[in-house]
Structure 1
Amino acid sequence: MQFKAMAAIVNEIVLVPRDDRYTWSLEGNGEFLVSSLRKVLDGNRFQEKSLSTRWVKSVPIKVNIMAWKVKSNALPTRFNLSRRGIDIDSIDCPICKMGAETTCHLFFQCSVARQIMRKIASWWNVEFMEVNSYEEWRSWIVSTRIHSRSKGIIEGIYYGLWWSMWNFRNKILFDSKTPEKALIFDNLVSSSFYWFKYRCKASFKWDDWLKNPYIVCC
């Protein structure tokens, strides 16, 4: 009787002649999109529309993810680790040792981070302003009086700065050889040159990038 009942149910099933596949329920067509997932994450984490995730296509995915972690305070900084009950030797910033290593301090308030931010502003010939958080930095970017395309490029460079600062911090903590602070800005300029050269439509050379980075926006 059970077999007959099961056969009756199976007989009503109509199978489509194609391979099995996953479907994404957040989109009507069933296809997975990064943007749809990003909207869900933003909706849960950020209530204000102004704090929605910004994706800069001109920089690598890993750098964009890093920027998202900076904004959402999702990095395992010393302060965040201690808040979760993990026993660590110190919560001081390993770079400047002038404050607790929070996300805001490491990427915006640390003296080394501010020195490099000042160099970026000088390189791009924009007015430098000290900021203490992602929100303040974002307001500064929006208020900067330059072309919208240039803002996107500068935003990507700051994403690269956060990536560089985090790597520099990890080398201080985990590498046997102490890294050089002076190379952070130089490596950022070099890395960003290749990011934008192969992801932007404008054609430019290394000297152009050093002397007039606005050429990328042409």
Structure 2
Amino acid sequence: MGGLNIGSLKSKNLSLLGKWWWRFKTETDAFWVKIVRSIYGSSGGLELGSDNSHSIASGLSGLWRNIINAGAEIDSLNVPFRGSFIKHIGNGSSTSFWDDRWLGDFKLRDKFQRLFRLARDKEAAVSERLIMQDDGLSTNWDWLRTPSGRTNSELTELMELLAGFRLKNDEPDGWRWALSSNSRFNVKDLTKAIDEYVISVSGIPQETMRNNFVPKKVEIFVWRALKNRLPVKIELDKRGIDLHSVRCPLCDDDLESVDHSLIFCKHSSELWNRVFGWWKLGSFSNYSVGEILRGNAPVSMSDVGKKIWQAIEWICAYYIWKNRNNKIFRDKTWTTPISLNEIQIKSFEWISQRSKGRKLDWLTWLSDPNVYLHSL
């Protein structure tokens, strides 16, 4: 929604807990699954708390309790998680006729309650009630008494649901996840679904600029700079942090704001002039941070060239900030030629790695990189 596409920790945590639901259902022969079933029953306790409550039976504790509770919490966020696991029927031997969701997003015991009460074996498998023969599907009911009245109406409705259903005798049963297009559980898909509820944006969000020629850390730096989220001294002072001085720690000529630190400080300005000269774009004018980072490329550049130049501007601002921090926290001397050299090396490395087949020449990059703004 215009942000950094990181998402919330809450949604990621719930999704990772939710993954254990999928693993419990699909890794049926795993030793840990057998242990959980021996303690909490054949369903592993995942059927507890089905009333959408966040609490479950008091007898459960520890990590598995948190995993079970995660299902109810995800449901409470308008994501139908617990009902999203649907049994895919093969031969029907490992699927409960009444307790598993295999004909839809419901259990037959809930949809046909009178029939369920009348069933003699409430734990019967699908393969025990349905038999695939050459002439089609036949049923093998085992009732306490013959259905009649409303119970017989439920049986008629159930038979209509079973019309056209087929068992695959040579294929084992499996699971499908209804919230994914490929029917496989995916943490990323669940996280995205939860985030749509957890993360709310008031008004129209400002789209975060992206440039695939630079690493994510540079994009995050640009996002912070445009949002005034860099910890320059003026911003720290606004937040009640007691500082000895709020002046620029490099030049001491003015208060340290984001604009001053990245643009107007004499060290920053000198580096910008060196970068503009390297790219043969004339002298550097005192643009604002917003003008530099949002793009000020000449119209004559190609579309790829504009993106390359934007990447150079972002990398320059990134290294100004990095060298500023090195001076403050590591007492490293700011040297403009060395800073320019770092920018030349890193920009060539990053852009070359992300150019998708376009080859950059190192000597040309140093002597006349301007050609890449028009020819690529």
Measured after TM superposition, the shift of residue 132 of structure 1 is 4.3
CA distance in 1, matches of 2:325, 2:351: 26
The amino acid across from 2:358 in the alignment is: A
Q: Summarize the alignment of residues 113-152 of structure 1 with structure 2, pairs less than 5 Å apart.
A: 113-137=268-292, 141-143=296-298, 145-152=300-307
1:69: which partner in 2? 224
The amino acid across from 1:25 in the alignment is: A
CA 1:87 to 1:8, structure 2 compared with 1: closer, same or farther past 3 Å?
Answer: closer
**1:159-215, Cα deviation, whole Å (9 max, x unpaired):** 111211111111111114434343111111111010111111311221021123233
CA 1:42 to 1:59, structure 2 compared with 1: closer, same or farther past 3 Å?
Answer: farther
Equivalent residue in structure 1 for 2:309, among 130, 145, 154: 154
1:88: which partner in 2? 243
**1:89-146, Cα deviation, whole Å (9 max, x unpaired):** 1111112211111101111111111111112212222233423422333576145542
CA 1:118 to 1:41, structure 2 compared with 1: closer, same or farther past 3 Å?
Answer: farther
CA 1:9 to 1:179, structure 2 compared with 1: closer, same or farther past 3 Å?
Answer: closer
1:25: which partner in 2? 193
- Percent of pairs with identical residues: 23
1:187: which partner in 2? 342
Measured after TM superposition, the shift of residue 42 of structure 1 is 9.4
Equivalent residue in structure 2 for 1:169, among 321, 324, 328: 324
Tell me, yes or no, if structure 1 residue 204 matches structure 2 residue 341: no
CA distance in 2, matches of 1:106, 1:96: 10
2:69: which partner in 1? none
Higher strand share: 2
CA distance in 2, matches of 1:179, 1:121: 19
1:33: which partner in 2? none
CA distance in 1, matches of 2:294, 2:286: 9
Measured after TM superposition, the shift of residue 56 of structure 1 is 0.9
1:24 partner SS: helix
2:359 partner SS: coil
CA distance in 2, matches of 1:106, 1:93: 7
CA 1:196 to 1:7, structure 2 compared with 1: closer, same or farther past 3 Å?
Answer: closer
- Number of equivalences: 197
2:316 partner SS: helix
CA distance in 1, matches of 2:287, 2:246: 18
Measured after TM superposition, the shift of residue 148 of structure 1 is 2.5
Contact 2:352 2:360 in 1 (8 A): yes
Q: Which has the higher contact order (CA 8 A, sep 6+)?
A: 1
Moved more, 166-175 or 139-148: 139-148
Measured after TM superposition, the shift of residue 65 of structure 1 is 0.9
CA distance in 2, matches of 1:42, 1:116: 38
Gaps of 5+ in 1: 1-5, 31-36, 47-51
CA 1:183 to 1:9, structure 2 compared with 1: closer, same or farther past 3 Å?
Answer: closer
Gaps of 5+ in 2: 1-47, 53-81, 87-174, 178-184
Higher helix share: 1
1:88 partner SS: coil
1:215: which partner in 2? 372
CA 1:40 to 1:122, structure 2 compared with 1: closer, same or farther past 3 Å?
Answer: farther
CA 1:81 to 1:20, structure 2 compared with 1: closer, same or farther past 3 Å?
Answer: same
Give me the CA root mean square deviation: 3.2
**1:26-58, Cα deviation, whole Å (9 max, x unpaired):** 899x9xxxxxx8x959944x4xxxxx4211100
CA distance in 1, matches of 2:284, 2:335: 25
Measured after TM superposition, the shift of residue 87 of structure 1 is 0.3
The amino acid across from 2:368 in the alignment is: N
Contact 1:126 1:144 in 2 (8 A): no
1:135 partner SS: helix
Moved more, 155-164 or 175-184: 175-184
The amino acid across from 2:365 in the alignment is: W
CA distance in 1, matches of 2:346, 2:50: 64
